[in-house]
């Protein structure tokens, strides 16, 4: 009984880490096509379309969530800090909470829910309806002409959306603060600018790029593993994709 338990537990843990090994192998396979693929007109068109899908279509969600989260968070931080008589440290708290944690997390979640799942289902649909045959028949390698633009577009979109999230959350925070706490705009900006440095910007960008790259890679690879377009089979993969992405996000957070 105990032996079985240990074996099963071991198998689950090994298969979990096996996902990362498989992803690295898949990355090498896709990376091999990077030489010529983006020069090609068809691939470039696909890259632009994916950029539109991931950036423009998610833009409003990022703006709204930025406003609401920024407004709420900065209000809470300000209340705590004024109670502790540490108002002068508001810049540090805002940068740490928004730049380092909330912005990468919320942008990743929006990309996961709206783009990664769509991307996964698109690949599954192409595979199950034999449309990948068309690519192969015309000597177009799907790794270079379909998957690579998708994966690259995720990283670029995440970078752009992260920038806008930060911008609108700071704006949302100020608008709320301006009404509730009568703080001047100048004071608010000075507090943030005094603390924020190049390192913070690099750190937030790196986080969001790494996690979106991972998410895109996982969504494309999972899409290739969906053998049926029935809702049961799809849901299993959607849940897997979401859980592994969130787990990996917090793993990345610990290192960067």
Partner 1 sequence: MCKNNKNDASFLVDDIIVYGYKKDILFITDAERKKNYVFDLISLSKKEYGIISKKLPFVSNLYVIENIFFVLIYKYNISLSKCYEKFKNIIKWLKINDLLWVYKHELTDLELFKCMFLRALTIEPSIIFIDGISEEEFSLTMKILDFLDKDIFLWILAEKNDNFLLNNNSFKKIYLS
Minimum separation from the CB atom of position 149 to partner 1 (A): 11
Asked if 128 interacts with partner 1 (CB under 8 A), we say: no
Minimum separation from the CB atom of position 42 to partner 1 (A): 5
Asked if 224 interacts with partner 1 (CB under 8 A), we say: no
Asked if 40 interacts with partner 1 (CB under 8 A), we say: yes
88-121 per-residue burial string, b: 16 or more CB within 10 A, e: under 16: eebbbbbbebbbbebbbbbbbbbbbeebbbebbb
Asked if 41 interacts with partner 1 (CB under 8 A), we say: yes
From the list 79, 129, 194, 228, which residue makes contact with partner 1 (rule: CB under 8 A)? 129
Task: Write out the two tokens for 219.
Answer: 């969504």
CA–CA separation, 218 vs 151, rounded Å?
Answer: 10
Are the C-beta atoms of 207 and 230 separated by less than 8 Å? no
How long, in residues, is the chain?
A: 256
CA separation, residue 199 to residues 97, 159, 178, 192, 255 (Å): 15, 15, 29, 14, 15
Spatial CB neighbours of 201, under 8 Å, sequence gap ≥ 6: 99
Instruction: Choose the binding region for partner 1 from 6-14, 38-46, 79-87, 211-219 (rule: CB under 8 A).
Output: 38-46
Asked if 52 interacts with partner 1 (CB under 8 A), we say: no
Asked if 137 interacts with partner 1 (CB under 8 A), we say: yes
From the list 2, 12, 17, 138, which residue makes contact with partner 1 (rule: CB under 8 A)? 138
Measured from the CB atom, the residue of 136 and 251 that comes closer to partner 1 is 136
**Binding interface with partner 1 (CB under 8 A):** 39-42, 45-46, 122, 125-126, 129-131, 133-135, 137-140, 145
């Amino acid at each position: 009984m105990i032996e079985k338990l240990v074996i099963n537990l071991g198998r689950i843990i090994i298969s979990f880490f096996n996902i990362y090994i498989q992803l690295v192998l898949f990355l090498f396979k896709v990376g091999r096509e990077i030489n010529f693929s983006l020069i090609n007109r068809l691939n470039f068109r696909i890259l632009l379309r994916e950029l539109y899908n991931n950036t423009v279509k998610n833009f409003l969600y990022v703006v709204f969530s930025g406003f609401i989260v920024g407004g709420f968070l900065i209000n809470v931080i300000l209340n705590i800090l004024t109670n502790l008589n540490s108002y002068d440290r508001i810049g540090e708290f805002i940068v740490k909470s928004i730049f380092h944690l909330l912005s990468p997390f919320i942008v990743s979640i929006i990309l996961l829910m709206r783009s990664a799942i769509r991307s996964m289902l698109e690949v599954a649909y192409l595979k199950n309806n034999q449309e990948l045959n068309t690519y192969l028949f015309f000597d177009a390698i799907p790794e270079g002409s379909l998957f690579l633009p998708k994966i690259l577009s995720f990283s670029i979109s995440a970078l752009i959306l992260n920038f806008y999230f930060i911008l609108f959350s700071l704006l949302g925070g100020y608008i709320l603060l301006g009404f509730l706490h009568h703080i001047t705009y100048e004071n608010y900006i000075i507090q943030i600018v005094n603390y924020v440095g190049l390192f913070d910007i690099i750190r937030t960008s790196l986080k969001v790029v790494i996690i979106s790259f991972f998410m895109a890679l996982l969504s494309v690879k999972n899409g290739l593993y969906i053998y049926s377009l029935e809702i049961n089979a799809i849901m299993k993969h959607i849940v897997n994709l979401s859980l592994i992405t969130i787990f990996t996000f917090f793993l990345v957070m610990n290192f960067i």
